[in-house]
Structure 1
Amino acid sequence: MARELVYLFIVTALFIGILFVMLFYLSIRKSAANKTRKQIEEYKETYNPILFEYIVGGNVSRKLVPNNVVQKKAVEELLAKYSEILEGEEERKSLTSMANLHLTEYYRVRLRSRKWSSRMNALYYIEKFNMDTLLKDLFSMLGQKRISRDELTHILRILANFQFINLYDYLNKKYAFLSGFECRNILVRLGSGHFDQFILGFHKARPDLQYAILDVIGVKREVRFLPFLESIFQTYKGEAKLRALKAIGSIGYVGNLAPYLPLAHSEKWEERMMAARLIGAMKAKEGIGDLIRLLHDRSWWVRSQAGQALAKFPEGKTTLQEIAETTEDPFARDMAIEWINKGV
Structure 2
Amino acid sequence: MSSAPFLIVGTLSVVVAATVLGLYGYLVYAKTRYARASRFVAERLETAEYGLQRSVESAGSIADLAALARKYPLWRSLIQEFCAKRIRLGGTREEIERIRSLVRASFAENYRSRLTGRRWSDRVNAMIYIGLFRLDEFWPELAWAAVDERRTEAERLLAHRTLAALQRPEAIDLLETRAKGMTDHHIRHVFMPLDPSLLQLCIEKFDAFAPWVRNNLLDVLRIRNLRDERTLHLFERASVSDEAEQRVRALKGIANFGYIGPEAEAAFIERASNWERMPRSEKLMAARLMGAVPNDVYPALLESMLGDVNYSVRQQAMASLMEYPGRKARLERLLHTHPDRYARDLAHEMMERYGYERQLA
Within a 5 Å distance, the mapping from 1:285-304 to structure 2 comes to: 285-304=296-315
Q: What is the identity, as a one-letter code, of the residue corresponding to 2:153?
A: R
- Kept in 1, the 8 Å contact 2:146–2:157? The answer is no
Which residue of structure 1 lines up, in the alignment, with residue 54 of structure 2? Answer: 53
Question: Helix, strand or coil: the match of 1:254?
Answer: coil
* Gap change, CA 1:50 and 1:324, over 3 Å in 2: farther
Question: Structure 1 residue aligned with 2:81, among 77, 92, 98?
Answer: 77
- Kept in 2, the 8 Å contact 1:188–1:216? The answer is yes
Q: Offset of 1:273 from its aligned partner?
A: 1.7
Within a 5 Å distance, the mapping from 1:152-163 to structure 2 comes to: 152-163=156-167
Q: Are 1:179 and 2:182 matched, yes or no?
A: yes
- Kept in 2, the 8 Å contact 1:180–1:212? The answer is no
Deviating more after overlay: 96-105 vs 19-28: 19-28
Deviating more after overlay: 80-89 vs 327-336: 327-336
Question: Helix, strand or coil: the match of 1:134?
Answer: helix
Question: Structure 1 residue aligned with 2:216, among 187, 205, 212?
Answer: 212
Q: Percent identity?
A: 24
Q: Offset of 1:126 from its aligned partner?
A: 1.8
Q: What is the identity, as a one-letter code, of the residue corresponding to 1:126?
A: I
Q: Offset of 1:107 from its aligned partner?
A: 2.8
Separation in structure 1 between the aligned mates of residue 155 and residue 15 of structure 2, nearest angstrom: 43
Q: What is the identity, as a one-letter code, of the residue corresponding to 1:273?
A: L
Q: What is the identity, as a one-letter code, of the residue corresponding to 1:232?
A: A
List gaps (5 residues or longer) in structure 2. 356-361
* Gap change, CA 1:10 and 1:317, over 3 Å in 2: farther
Q: Offset of 1:146 from its aligned partner?
A: 1.0
Which residue of structure 1 lines up, in the alignment, with residue 358 of structure 2? Answer: none
Separation in structure 1 between the aligned mates of residue 168 and residue 75 of structure 2, nearest angstrom: 33
* Gap change, CA 1:188 and 1:78, over 3 Å in 2: same
Question: Helix, strand or coil: the match of 1:329?
Answer: helix
TM-score (norm: length of structure 2): 0.73
- Kept in 2, the 8 Å contact 1:295–1:304? The answer is yes
Q: What is the identity, as a one-letter code, of the residue corresponding to 2:118?
A: R
- Kept in 1, the 8 Å contact 2:143–2:163? The answer is no
Q: Offset of 1:279 from its aligned partner?
A: 1.8
| 1:141-170 Cα distance to aligned partner (Å, 9 max, x none) | 245331233222322222233332344443
* Gap change, CA 1:27 and 1:128, over 3 Å in 2: closer
* Gap change, CA 1:70 and 1:297, over 3 Å in 2: farther
- Kept in 1, the 8 Å contact 2:127–2:158? The answer is yes
- Kept in 2, the 8 Å contact 1:171–1:209? The answer is yes
Q: Are 1:336 and 2:350 matched, yes or no?
A: yes
* Gap change, CA 1:28 and 1:159, over 3 Å in 2: closer
| 1:290-316 Cα distance to aligned partner (Å, 9 max, x none) | 334434432243234334434444655
Which residue of structure 1 lines up, in the alignment, with residue 192 of structure 2? Answer: 188
Separation in structure 1 between the aligned mates of residue 105 and residue 335 of structure 2, nearest angstrom: 65
Q: Offset of 1:39 from its aligned partner?
A: 3.7
| 1:146-204 Cα distance to aligned partner (Å, 9 max, x none) | 1233222322222233332344443222x142536233332333223333233233334
Separation in structure 2 between the aligned mates of residue 19 and residue 149 of structure 1, nearest angstrom: 30
Question: Helix, strand or coil: the match of 2:239?
Answer: helix
Which residue of structure 2 lines up, in the alignment, with residue 246 of structure 1? Answer: 252
Question: Structure 2 residue aligned with 1:272, among 270, 283, 293?
Answer: 283
CA RMSD between the two structures: 4.0
Separation in structure 1 between the aligned mates of residue 124 and residue 352 of structure 2, nearest angstrom: 45
Which residue of structure 2 lines up, in the alignment, with residue 226 of structure 1? Answer: 232
Question: Structure 1 residue aligned with 2:129, among 118, 125, 148?
Answer: 125
Q: Offset of 1:86 from its aligned partner?
A: 1.9
* Gap change, CA 1:186 and 1:277, over 3 Å in 2: same
- Kept in 2, the 8 Å contact 1:215–1:243? The answer is yes
Which residue of structure 2 lines up, in the alignment, with residue 137 of structure 1? Answer: 141
Separation in structure 2 between the aligned mates of residue 196 and residue 336 of structure 1, nearest angstrom: 43
The total of aligned residue pairs comes to 338
Q: Offset of 1:123 from its aligned partner?
A: 1.9
- Kept in 2, the 8 Å contact 1:307–1:335? The answer is no
- Kept in 2, the 8 Å contact 1:110–1:122? The answer is yes
